[in-house]
């Protein structure tokens, strides 16, 4: 299931997969059929691959920066929001991010687009962490092979 979701663009940890499987109404003991797979991917897409708690937290942060309550954040507020989350981001980066996720092309970011952006950031972080882990694992295996 994790490989299937990864192919759909969602690198998830085991606990996250379990939550989505439960939300999709699947039985982990039964083989995965096509309709269950489709439902599982749809559940993940609706939340941009974030578990319920994460969606609530991210939406709360978004709304804290949406001081005018328009449901949209201009670029400077997106920059402030990302920095508040610990991302070292420049305004140029925000322009690039908006170009990637601004589905309605209005130059601002809504909650859904924000979740899409955070999913992309999560995927990048996940891939970087996996590359480091794989490299360390290879080093360890090489040391074991040479008896070091």
Which ranges of the chain would DSSP assign to H, the alpha helix?
Answer: 2-7, 14-23, 34-46, 52-65, 75-84, 91-101, 111-145
The CATH architecture to which 52-131 belongs is Orthogonal Bundle (1.10)
Determine contact, residues 126/11, Cβ cutoff 8 Å: yes
Our CA angle for 35, 42, 16, nearest 5°, is 105
How far is the first Cα of the chain from the last one, in angstroms, to the nearest whole number? 37
| Residue ranges covered by each domain of the chain | 2-46, 52-131
User: Which parts of the chain have pLDDT scores under 70?
Assistant: 147-148
Q: What is the pLDDT of residue 146?
A: 76
Determine contact, residues 121/100, Cβ cutoff 8 Å: no
Q: How far is CA 28 from CA 8, 67, 102, in A?
A: 19, 43, 36
Q: What is the pLDDT of residue 103?
A: 92
Question: What pLDDT digit, counting tens, does each position of 8-20 carry?
Answer: 888 888 888 888 9
Structure pTM? 0.80
Would you call 108 helix, strand, or coil by DSSP?
coil
Residue 28 CB contacts under 8 Å (≥ 6 apart), including other chains: 18, 21
Residue 99 CB contacts under 8 Å (≥ 6 apart), including other chains: none
């Amino acid at each position: 299931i994790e490989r299937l979701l990864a192919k759909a663009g969602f690198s998830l940890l085991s606990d996250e997969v379990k939550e989505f499987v439960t939300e999709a109404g699947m039985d982990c003991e039964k083989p995965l059929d096509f309709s269950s797979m489709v439902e599982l991917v749809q559940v993940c897409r609706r939340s941009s691959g974030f578990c319920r708690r994460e969606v609530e937290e991210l939406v709360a942060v978004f709304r804290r920066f949406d001081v005018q309550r328009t449901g949209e954040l201009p670029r400077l507020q997106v920059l402030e929001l990302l920095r508040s989350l610990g991302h070292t981001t420049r305004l140029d980066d925000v322009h690039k991010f908006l170009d990637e996720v601004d589905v309605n092309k209005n130059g601002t970011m809504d909650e859904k687009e924000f979740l899409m952006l955070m999913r992309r950031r999560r995927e990048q972080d996940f891939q970087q962490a996996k590359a480091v882990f794989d490299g360390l694992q290879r080093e360890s295996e090489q040391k074991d092979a040479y008896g070091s």
